[in-house]
Chains A and B, each alone.
Chain A
Amino acid sequence: MSADVDAERDPSSWQNELYDLLRRHRVTQFAYVPDAGHRVLIDRSLADPEARSVALTTEEEGVALLAGADLGGERAALLMQSSGVGNCINMLSLVKGGRFPMLMLVSMRGDFGEGNPWQFPMGQAVEPVLEAMGVICMRVARADEVAATVGAALTMVFQSGHAVAVLLTQRLIGAKPF
């Protein structure tokens, strides 16, 4: 591996660690609307012959897709930007009413250091609307907390059968590069 690639991967090392963690916990379907904050997870799922990578046209499809995967006995994760949370709300009726396990990884906009005013309304509404639909939210602000938080979420989702959103905040992913 070249020094350039090493340097490029270094800031994303928590994302590589996160992908390995999800795969170790037998997550095999990765559904997403592309977002820079999930770049490594998306690329690795595309390159992984044992995983299925599903590009969505809207995030709510992902909620239904994960429920379908669960009916078939497979584990899945839904990756999105915080604006996509708003697209999921009614679809989460399926998760709450059907008690489907649901793991959402949300890269945040509209919080710490945001420079685009369009991002604030949905970004600031993420936690209240998810909680209103019965989804437990856990925020991560530091790279060294990602694995422990997602590890806890994996237990809550696939052992306890709950819906959990891990919010990857702009303190973690940075406010600028989007």
Chain B
Amino acid sequence: MATPHDRRGTAAAVAPDFVLDRTQAVPALIGRHEDFLIIAGLAGTARDVAALTRDGAHTYALAGVMGAACAMGLGLALARPDRRVLVVTGDGELLMNVGTLATIAVINPPNLSIVCVDNGHYGETGYQKSHTSLGVDLEKMAVGAGLKITRTVRSEADLADGARLIRNGNGTAFVLLRVKPTDPPSYKRSLDPAMGRLRFRQSLLGRP
């Protein structure tokens, strides 16, 4: 039986257009993370964000409720038009509630950006292929939902443009960051969803 590590090798071999390493590409794309309020999807992107921010109080990272990240970001962005809100999610998480792109697009909050870290796989469960390894293009789905500011970042040369987009959009920005199916950084973060809520609110609002 193939171990997750074996599967990862196979996955990389069949996806030659996924070249960026997420441990470098995610920090390069986001830049100064303190400029954002961040909602992270579960699994890989939660670890990307936890490592980048040292599990910071300006982040709320999920470890369940797959499909929640974009809608949480929308609620937060509408509540705080004075702040930039960044959703960092994965291809599997976004696919579970891809309709949320339509919900967001018709409102188009200018202070919301979405980064989808697309490795073409369900990394957490053993690197099974996701739909984006099989022809599904999430940037095209974002365009089809009505989002006007979208990009696919495939190489280091694309990173600066993506970084500019998530900070300067005149409407909601969507950046699909294609990365190799390799492990996210290991970082031990708190998994207590209630503590995370109180910590976020205390930091942002000055009350629990």
Nearest chain A residue, comparing its CB with the CB of B65? A94
Task: Judge whether A65 is part of the interface by a CB distance below 8 angstroms.
Answer: yes
Instruction: Decide: B100 and A57 in contact? CB cutoff 8 A.
Output: yes
Interface residue ranges of B80-114 to A (CB < 8 Å): 80, 97, 99-100, 102-103, 106-107
CB neighbours (8 Å) of A72 from chain B are 37, 75-80, 204
Q: Is the interface of B mostly helix, strand, loop or mixed?
A: helix
Q: What's the nearest-Cβ distance from chain B to residue A86, in Å?
A: 15
Q: Report the separation of the CA atoms of residues A55 and B146 in the bound assembly, to the nearest whole angstrom.
A: 15
- Decide if A71 is an interface residue (CB 8 Å cutoff): yes
CA distance A55 to B100 in the complex (A): 10
Min CB gap A70→B, angstroms: 7
B77 CB contacts on chain A under 8 angstroms: 68, 72
* Interface contact A68-B103, CB-CB below 8 Å: no
Are B194 and A99 in contact, CB atoms less than 8 angstroms apart? yes
Q: Given A54-B103, A73-B204, A76-B75, decide whether A91 and B68 contact each other with a Cβ distance below 8 A.
A: yes
CB A111 to nearest CB in B, in angstroms, measures 28
Size of the A side of the interface (Cβ < 8 Å), in residues, is 32
Chain A nearest CB from B96 CB (Å) reads 10
User: How far is B75's CA from A94's CA once the two chains are assembled, in angstroms?
Assistant: 14
Cα(A93)–Cα(B64), bound, Å: 8
CB neighbours of A69 from chain B (8 A): 75-76, 78-79
When distances are taken between beta carbons in the complex, the residues of chain B under 8 Å from A68 are 39, 71-77, 79
Shortest CB-to-CB span from A32 to chain B, Å, is 11
With A54-B107, A57-B102, A71-B60 as contacts: A65 and B72 at CB distance below 8 Å: yes
Contacts A54-B107, A64-B65 given: A71-B74 contact, CB under 8 Å?
no
B196 at the binding interface (Cβ < 8 Å): yes
Measured CB to CB, the nearest residue on chain B to A92 is B65
CA distance in complex: A109, B67 (Å) = 27
Interface assignment of A61: CB less than 8 Å from any CB of chain B? yes
Specify which chain A residues have a CB less than 8 angstroms from the CB of B74 in the assembled complex. 54, 65, 68
- What are 15 A-B contacts defined by CB distance under 8 Å? A31-B75, A57-B99, A57-B100, A60-B97, A64-B69, A67-B72, A68-B75, A71-B72, A73-B201, A74-B75, A90-B66, A94-B193, A97-B193, A99-B197, A100-B197
By a beta-carbon cutoff of 8 Å, the part of chain A in contact with chain B is 29, 31, 52, 54-58, 60-74, 76, 90-91, 93-94, 97-100
Q: Kindly list the 4 A-B residue pairs having the minimum CB-CB distance in the complex, ordered from nearest.
A: A68-B75, A72-B79, A57-B99, A74-B79
